[in-house]
Structure 1
Amino acid sequence: MDIQDNMECSAEGEQLKSELDSKMAASNSKSDGEHLVSAAVLARQLKAGTPLVKLCQDPKNGNEALGAVSAKRLKSGQTSSSDSGDQTERKYIELLPQTVRKYNHLEAWLGTLDYRTVKPVMMMMSADENMQESGESGCVDSESNVAQRLAQELWAIDSDEEEPEQMTDCTNPFRFPLTDNQQAEQILNTENLSAERQMNNFIQLIQSRAAVPEYALSDAIYCVDKPKEAAALGAELPLVPISESFKIGDVLKLFVSEVYSPFQFWFHVVDGDYDMHMLEQLNHQITTFYSTLRDTDWQLPSYFMKPGYMCAVLHEFAWRRGRIVSEPLADADNVSVYLLDYGKGVNVQHKELYFLHGTFKEQPAFLMRGTLTDVYPLDLHWPENATSKFKQLVHARELHAVIKDIDIQDRILFVNLFNKSSSETTTISDLLIEAKMAGRSHNYSAELRAANCGRRLRYLRERLPTFDMLETQVFPTATDDFEEKFDNIIYMPTFFQQFQPPQLTNPFLRDLQEALANWLVKFQPEEMAWRKLNKEAHKKLKQEQQKRLQQFLTEHPNFFNELAA
């Protein structure tokens, strides 16, 4: 009995082995269209929302080879249980093993799975996607044809060549940069444009392709690297209330800090409002804060080094408040900075600049602008020896001053200085006149003011260069050579009489040219109003003189006869 059972099992094993070999051969002969697609294709198809059904026939109920996979789409309203085209039971599953000629990692992994352990899944097809039906009987295409067409569609989706998106009116054009050929055609093959214009267009194109274009850079962009307590881009110090703190006729004690000429110098008030005691307290607070600071986040990055940005400066082992004058070059080691509380321009290294804490921008600059009175230069500008003599008399000395006039708009105090230690009342102006370095001016006298309709005449060199030009350093370093060139600019009748801005050929003086043009815009209304007032005053004076002459001739009818005799 056992021998008979063994023979029957052996016969059944041989029959099963032959059936499996035939099925494997049939599986290997399947067309390429029925091969299982890659995981990337399946993922893209599922993401696109295209319903896809993988089905397999149970080998016990059919003649197909184990692992043969076919794909089919369901029509709208059709479910997996309504597949009437086949009489055999079908199992809808997501993944099934398949034997293929080419090695595939996904298929190799699927080959390790048993189809009985995979959970069935079914995805419905949207109503607007219908498959074409073959013939009037309504029968669907054969599974092999469907699988072949579906594989072609899926492989097309898996292609690396992406179709360009169509631009619409509301699409951002910067999302679709021009191709290299189009750029070359628009930038390099522009015969009607000059070489300079082509280069400007090319630079503009490169800048627009930056992650954040230059025109979009702002403090909101940079705030990522800026401490939230630091001063923002564009922040300014409050201004000292000139009209409330100073009056004409007041006597001050001051300390001259910086000198450009007798008409332009800067000083600190020794005793009074916003004096040197407040400046010393501020400097102590700044030094205490930054000397104990070990956080490198407060060190100023290069892209914050913009003209006008306030910062903390370590200069000559002392911490000061500063304002960046100009943006440094890419390979420059130093940065030009204007010290707000000292009126001095210095060059410091990048590592000596730090963000200015917001607390230190709440107080105004403890520095005043001053102009010496009762003198005028003996040349078109102040000679170098006269300026040197003035520096020798006033620099780093405590002096007394009398305020003789105030320019509230430009924040200038016109003062007459005299030495504190001198027992005499000799002024600094008298010392310059005695040394033949200056002439005596009477423009501050009441008689001359009355003759000019109440206006004090100001010398052109008293107005130019302005303090703003000097503080922003758009006016180059003073030399006799450049001073003469500047005289040729401002003393031209077309400039101060006709108010025409100068046309400077030197490209390094474009900032100065713009500053002079802006000054003319402010000076012209003031000058035209005074000219009109002066013209009316002279007309009125002439009428009064004629009236007096007529009255005199009426009282003395024989005046001319007596004069002739």
Structure 2
Amino acid sequence: MQENHEMDENNEDDSSRRMNAFMKRVESYAAIPSYALTDDVFSADRPRDAANLSTKILPIKLFDTGEAKEGIKIIITEIYTPFQFWFRFENFIDDVIYKLEGDLHDFYNQSSIYLKNYDNQVPNCFIKPGYICACYYDVNMSWRRARILSEPVADNDIVSVFYIDYGAGGDVSRTKLRFLPKRFTDLGALALRGCLSHIHPLGPHWPESSLAKFRHHVLNKELYSHVVEMDQDEGIAFMRISYKRNMSPSINKQMVVAHLAGESEHYSKRMMEFHCGRRIRYMRERLPSFDMLESGCYPMWGEDFEQKFDDIICDPAFYVNYQPPKIKNPFLWRLEKALELWLVKYKEEEEVWRKLYKEANEKLVKENEEKVQKILSAYGVDKVKDNKG
């Protein structure tokens, strides 16, 4: 009896020690700053072959599909403005999406129940902005690849996500999120980035009236596109779109005729030659960037915020002197940081062009001086006098 009694006491001690150890681990997690909560800290909760906190899925390279650049049938899946929308190639991308959805359906309805942690919802410690996971989409009862945009607020299970293959965002319950196997992250994001060419907004930014009519006429409709320019680094296709394969008339032109947009001269040969072969992009083409929209750091606050954003990006201190803005609203700290990072790349690119412009102007001045000197020499003048002479 004594031996049994001692054994019971030892078991109780072991239980107490295990409980104390568990509580210490919980306390240690709480004591770790959020920036130190890396994938290594919580690796026990994640399947070994699942996406980790640093996993990224980049857009697919445009026209790696072998498609031509004109007369491509597309469907615009989401719109922010005519300068920022998402689309897919109706034939090629549709086939890939259907196969991806089928593979995800098979995995989460069959294989996942036999694999540790795949059948459970993603733990809170992984619900971080930027984390790649799978999300159950109630509308058509399918699984989609998603990027988490925000952490849930206390006492609320709603999480904002971006569906990377559709260019659309949404708010979902955290119970809909699952770990995503790494093999599903090898395929690039299938929502392609698009921008209308040959037009500009009738004002600093696109007014809601133009946006509403543009969305009504093109969203989720079969269209044809003519890609006139590419930005491979950002994955953006600048295009004309139309209901007809021959692009006559283009919706771009129709917007100008309907006074919903202005006609841009930036694509003209004359203007591009004047700028050393470069097409000047409007600041509203550049900002908000697709990365800002897809990461959820750019707020959709309507007309009032759009005007405030104009004041930021149209300030010469910003786009001429590369001075990052100081946004007073503490809830916009992610946008402020994103603009700082954007300026770094913009400055690097812009300085190259400014140097080229300076050299081109100096060459032009020298050529003009030589032409003037030849004319004066023909009249017996040997040297052009300077202003002091």
Report if TM-score (shorter chain) is over 0.5. Answer: yes
**Structure-1 residue corresponding to 2:121:** 299
8 A contact 1:255–1:396 mirrored in 2: yes
For residues 340 and 265 of structure 1, what CA distance do their matches in structure 2 show? 13
Task: Identify the residue that residue 259 of structure 2 maps to in structure 1.
Answer: 436
Paired residue for 2:37?
Answer: 217
Write the distance in 1 (CA, Å) between the matches of 2:255 and 2:104. 39
Aligned residues of 2:224 and 2:247 also touching (Cα < 8 A): no
Bigger radius of gyration: 1
What letter corresponds to residue 305 of structure 1 in structure 2? I
Letter of the structure 1 residue corresponding to residue 263 of structure 2: R
Q: Residue 258 of structure 1 corresponds to which residue in structure 2?
A: 78
Q: Distance in 2 between matches of 1:407 and 1:246?
A: 17
Residue 309 (structure 1) aligned to one of 106, 111, 131: 131
Q: What do residues 466-488 of structure 1 show as CA deviations (whole Å, max 9, x unaligned)?
A: 00000001000141100000001
Kindly provide the CA deviation profile for residues 441-468 of structure 1, in whole angstroms up to 9, marking residues without a partner as x: 1211222111111111111111100000
Unaligned runs of 5+ in 1: 1-104, 106-206, 559-565
* Percent of aligned pairs sharing the same letter: 39
Using a 3 Å threshold, how does the CA distance of structure 1 residues 444 and 532 change in structure 2: closer, same or farther?
same
Distance 1:229 1:542 in 2: 63
Q: Conserved in 1, the CA contact under 8 Å of 2:61 and 2:235?
A: no
**What's the CA shift for 1:370?**
0.7
Does the C-alpha gap of structure 1 residues 478 and 419 become closer, same or farther in structure 2, counting only changes over 3 Å? farther
Aligned residue for 1:382, secondary structure, equals coil
Specify the alignment match of 1:348 in structure 2. 172
| Structure-1 residue corresponding to 2:273 | 450
Count of equivalent residues: 351
Q: CA-to-partner distance for each residue in 1:196-242, whole Å, 9 max, x for gaps?
A: xxxxxxxxxxx985587346533333232223342222112255234
Determine the C-alpha separation between the residues in 2 that align with 1:493 and 1:232.
41
Deviation per residue, 1:510-557 (Å, 9 max, x gap): 111111011111111211221121122122222222332333344468
Q: In the TM superposition, what is the alpha-carbon distance from 1:337 to its structure 2 partner?
A: 0.7
What's the counterpart of residue 60 of structure 2? 240
What is the CA distance between 1:420 and its match in structure 2? Answer: 2.9
- Larger RCO (CA under 8 A, 6+ residues apart): 2
Is 2:104 the partner of 1:286?
yes
Preserved CA contact (<8 Å) 2:59 2:189 = yes
Please say if 1:383 is aligned against 2:200.
Answer: no
Structure 1 residue aligned with 2:91: 271
1:357 equivalenced with 2:181 (yes/no): yes
Q: For 1:493-532, what aligned pairs fall within 5 Å after superposition?
A: 493-532=316-355
Could you say which residue in structure 2 is the equivalent of 1:393? 217
Distance in 1 of aligned mates of 2:200 and 2:301: 18
Q: What amino acid sits opposite 1:298 in the alignment?
A: N
1:131-182 CA distance string (max 9 Å, x none): xxxxxxxxxxxxxxxxxxxxxxxxxxxxxxxxxxxxxxxxxxxxxxxxxxxx
Contact 1:490 1:496 (8 Å CA) reproduced = yes
Mapped partners of 1:471, 1:320: distance in 2: 16
How far, CA to CA, are the matches of 1:394 and 1:211 in structure 2? 49
Q: Which amino acid is 1:400 matched to?
A: Y
- Give the counterpart letter for 1:283 in structure 2: E
AA aligned to 1:487 is D
Task: Identify which range, 231-240 or 246-255, moves more after superposition.
Answer: 246-255
> Structure 2 residue aligned with 1:488, among 311, 329, 341?
311
**Contact 1:393 1:428 (C-alpha < 8 Å) held by counterparts:** no
Which amino acid is 2:120 matched to? W
User: For the structure 1 residues 526 and 228, does the alpha-carbon distance in structure 2 shift closer, same or farther, using more than 3 Å as the test?
Assistant: closer
Deviations 1:363-395 (A, max 9, x none): 111111111000011100011111112212211
Rate the CA distance shift 1:545–1:247 in 2: closer, same or farther, 3 A.
Answer: farther
SS at match of 1:371: strand
Whether the 8 Å contact between 2:276 and 2:357 is mirrored in structure 1 is yes
Distance in 1 separating the partners of 2:314 and 2:321:
11
SS of equivalent to 1:548: helix
Aligned partner letter, 1:454: G
Q: Show the counterpart of 1:325.
A: 149
2:159 to 335, 341, 345: 335
Alignment-mate amino acid for residue 170 of structure 2: V
Unpaired runs of 5+ in structure 2?
3-25, 382-389
Deviation per CA, 1:78-120, whole angstroms, max 9, x where unpaired?
xxxxxxxxxxxxxxxxxxxxxxxxxxx9xxxxxxxxxxxxxxx
Q: Does 1:476 align with 2:294?
A: no
CA distance in structure 1 between the partners assigned to 2:322 and 2:257 by the alignment: 37
Shift of 1:507: 0.2
User: Would the aligned equivalents of 1:403 and 1:414 in 2 still touch at CA under 8 Å?
Assistant: yes
* Alignment RMSD (CA, Å): 2.6
1:372 and 2:196 correspond: yes
Name the amino acid aligned to 1:291: N
Tell me: CA distance 1:246–1:415, structure 2 relative to 1, closer, same or farther (3 Å): farther
Q: Is the 8 A contact 2:59 2:192 kept in 1?
A: no
Partner amino acid, structure 2, of 1:338: F
Q: Which residue of 2 aligns with 1:63?
A: none
Report the Cα offset of residue 289 of structure 1.
2.4
